[in-house]
A and B are shown apart, each in its own frame.
Chain A
Amino acid sequence: AQKITQTQPGMFVQEKEAVTLDCTYDTSDQSYGLFWYKQPSSGEMIFLIYQGSYDEQNATEGRYSLNFQKARKSANLVISASQLGDSAMYFCAMREYSGGGADGLTFGKGTHLIIQP
């Protein structure tokens, strides 16, 4: 079974609109972290936001917020007031924490976001 599911392969959004990128995850661990990364066409992975499984508040970083619904195993990324520079691939990822430390990141397939003027 896929651990990270992103159901939107591609999205077109008008500039200045808010965007929600969907992500659901699957884990039996109690301790884990959820991440969103942005990958422009240049290829570099840019860290956007992090949510820990024990965090009760939704994470926010500037225009990015993570809508964390633990019971539904959902970690959607919300981008407010989208900009042309937001056009990129967006990946949701999870890190599970075992007794020996964190495991490697497990990524979803990504969502290709295109912001239109």
Chain B
Amino acid sequence: KAGVTQTPRYLIKTRGQQVTLSCSPISGHRSVSWYQQTPGQGLQFLFEYFSETQRNKGNFPGRFSGRQFSNSRSEMNVSTLELGDSALYLCASSLDTQTYEQYFGPGTRLTVT
């Protein structure tokens, strides 16, 4: 069974631009969560999608948004990029919202210059 895949793996953007990251969960998994990892703030929960609906959101500004498609693939978008958005963005999938175990993808490393 294929694991969680994230594309692209690396990305360099300029301040003020926007970016879209993609995550494909493990086949059969319907819940997708996104996390941001920075040296200063550590790992922080962004949001979770289940059945194309956002069911949980962390404490991030509205510039961070996401969506989920009917095949459970998810995208997250960051608009008006700031230098502080430079981070490793990790996606995790689980069967549903009740299943405890989350499987992580390799992450997308975003650098904002």
Contact = CB atoms under 8 A, between A and B. Distances in A.
Interface string A42-71: 111111001010000000000000000000
Interface in B48-103: 48, 50, 55-56, 58, 88, 90, 92, 97-103
A49 B94 CA distance: 15
Contacts of A47: 101-104
A105 B56 CA distance: 11
A102 B97 contact: yes
Interface in A102-117: 102-110
Interface string A3-44: 000000000000000000000000000000101010000111
Q: Which of B33, B45, B56, B102 has the most CB of A within 10 A?
A: B102
Interface residues of B, number: 28
Contacts of B43: 91, 93, 105, 107
A37 B103 CA distance: 10
A91 to B, nearest CB: 7
B6 to A, nearest CB: 10
A104 B107 contact: no
Contacts of B92: 45, 105
B107 A44 contact: yes
A52 B42 contact: no
Contacts of A101: 50, 55, 97-98
Which bucket holds chain A's interface residue count?
20 to 34
A87 B79 CA distance: 36
Interface string B13-50: 00000000000000000000101000000111111101
Contacts of B48: 104
Contact of B88 (A33, A43, A95): A43
B100 A52 contact: yes
Contacts of A93: 43
A21 to B, nearest CB: 16
Interface of B: 33, 35, 42-48, 50, 55-56, 58, 88, 90, 92, 97-107, 109
Interface of A: 33, 35, 37, 42-47, 50, 52, 91, 93, 95, 100-110
